[in-house]
Amino acid sequence: MNIQILNLPKLNNRTQQSSIVAGQNNISNNNVTYPNLKPLACDTVSFGSKAKIVNDVKKASKNKLFKDWDPDNELTLDNVIKLCKSFKKPLMKFDWDLKQALKPITCTESNPEGIVMPGKRGIHSRVKDAIKLLRKGNKRGIKTIKELGKIGDAGGTRITLRTASTQDTAQLFHYMKDMIKKGYKVKEIENYRPTPKDSYVSGKTLEDFESYCVKHGQYPEVTSKPLSNSYTAIHISFELPDGKVIELQIMGRDVENYKEVEDLFYKYRCNEDFSDEYKPIEKMFKKLMPKLDDFQKETLERYHKDSYEHARHIPPRSAKIRFAPERDFLPWPYSLPPELNPVNLYYKMIECKKVAVNAKPKQ
């Protein structure tokens, strides 16, 4: 192998080095020694080049993903606020239609034996707070507003029954068939109960209602779900005429009363923020709950379960008889902090609501 050694000139001084550098900086188009080197038209490290940005946008516009991108479908707080506002009118319409459909079985002065509680105590609706809905969407891994609008939690309605026997709920489902005639679609029915014998609704009633849905071209998914805390209710997902999905909850008045209190424990367990009005209660929970030992935690869970079962089997009462937590809640175990007693929490919630109402600026 022949190795050629190039005899390069030695750079004896800084003058010679400078002349070579100067020569490199003055390369022209007519350079004979390095014919491939030409002056650059622009700076090669110009990250902000307008021409480059325009070119990139043109390329991206040909991409299907870029075409499908919709800023109004992004999961941002502003878009979630718009979503919640869009539920108000259709939910009000659903609420009105439901009240008309259940009018024959709603408790009134002329119909005191009606199975649905009177007024807002019987049927009431709400649009979920935008921040809470956004947090729920993030927890579920939802990426778009369209997906968030179909989880059934943005808009919700609850029916509270004065009585809650299977005969009563059979009547309820019979009259709810009118909602299907009005264009509402049943997507899913979830029957929550600790055991089959504790269910609000019989299997026969569910089968009859499902068959009616099928006759009208609807095929709801019907499931029965036992929960460890003995929560008892029926959840129905309805699709509104405009395509929005809401959830209808059906439960007895006594289960509802305890659920309002138990929801505080649920939010703490799931690390969810309390409503602004209940911040004092949240502060108390954060102080007391971490101090519970294993025995106390087990006692608390057993108390929740027993309370739901107890509420489910309270005998029917007149709608005029007011709810009294001292009478209707189970006795609180002595081993647990008295501040967490559901009776105390029930009145604390009422107090917090009054403070929140008085704190609102007058129009």
- Distance CA(185)–CA(239), nearest Å, equals 5
Q: What are phi and psi of 327, to 5 degrees?
A: -90, -35
> Residue 128: is its pLDDT beyond 60?
yes
Q: For 319-337, what is the mean pLDDT? A: 91
Neighbour count for residue 324 (Cβ, 10 Å): 11
Total-model pTM:
0.76
Instruction: Give the C-alpha distances (Å, rounded to integers) separating 340 from 215, 221, 276, 300.
Output: 50, 38, 19, 10
The predicted pLDDT at position 56 comes to: 56
Helix 130-139 / helix 77-101 crossing angle, nearest 10 deg: 110
Q: Set out the domains of the chain in order of their start, with CATH numbers.
A: 71-252 (3.30.460), 269-359 (no CATH)
Q: Tell how strand 155-161 and strand 123-127 pair up.
A: antiparallel
Mean pLDDT, the chain, integer: 84
Q: Count CA within 13 A, CB hemisphere, residue 29.
A: 2
- Three-class SS of residue 207? helix
Q: What are phi and psi of 125, to 5 degrees?
A: -125, 160
Q: For 267-289, what is the mean pLDDT? A: 92
> Residue 277: is its pLDDT beyond 70?
yes
The predicted pLDDT at position 36 comes to: 52
pLDDT in tens, 176-226: 999 999 999 999 999 998 888 888 999 999 999 999 999 999 999 999 988
Q: What is the DSSP letter of 314?
A: S
